[in-house]
Amino acid sequence: MYQLDLTIFRWLNSWVGVNDFLDWNILFRAQYLLYVMIAAVFLFYAFDKNTTRVKWAIIHAFSAGILSRFIFTEVIRFFYDRPRPFEVLDGVKLLISHESGAAFPSGHASFSFALAMAIYYYYPKTGILFCLAALAMGAGRISAGVHWPSDILGGIIVGVLSAMLLEFLLKKLQYK
């Protein structure tokens, strides 16, 4: 896995510094796309007249995001403190500043995929767009030099499983 991680990381990170547009694109995806996704969740109020569905979609999405990012991700990081690529590799083109350590799993990926998966349960077509945005954000985090590809994959798994767990619990408790 390490060689595949290294190969994908080196290829994505090689795009940093090519030109200003690519750097802006990577920076946007790595740092700001998650905030756009969060804001987009609230647009359902404007476009869906079923306020009960909107309310539960928002509750599910943010509960799953918080559970995945601030509970499961932090528990994993407590037991496994993986260094970030810029800590262990020479020549990493770091596009954003970031503190050292605690790379696995990616908190950004876990939150964004929990959000996307929860949205998918209520709005499948829009959920696919959210998943694509979450993938773009993850690729941006790798390109910017702050995560390994397997950190993003770990975040995807944690996020999706968090949303699935909450879906199961909401159905079990008859809230859906």
Q: Which of 93, 84, 100 is nearest to 149 (CA)?
A: 84
Alpha carbons 84 and 88: distance in angstroms, whole number:
7
Buried b (16+ CB within 10 A) or exposed e, 73-98: beebbeeeebebbbeeeeebbebeeb
Grade residue 175 by pLDDT with cuts at 50, 70 and 90. Answer: low
Q: Which of 85, 91, 93 is nearest to 147 (CA)?
A: 85
User: 33-172 has which CATH code?
Assistant: 1.20.144.10
Alpha carbons 163 and 77: distance in angstroms, whole number:
20
Domain-wise residue ranges, the chain? 33-172
| pLDDT tens column, 63-99 | 999 999 999 999 999 999 899 999 988 889 988 988 8
Higher pLDDT, 175 or 41: 41
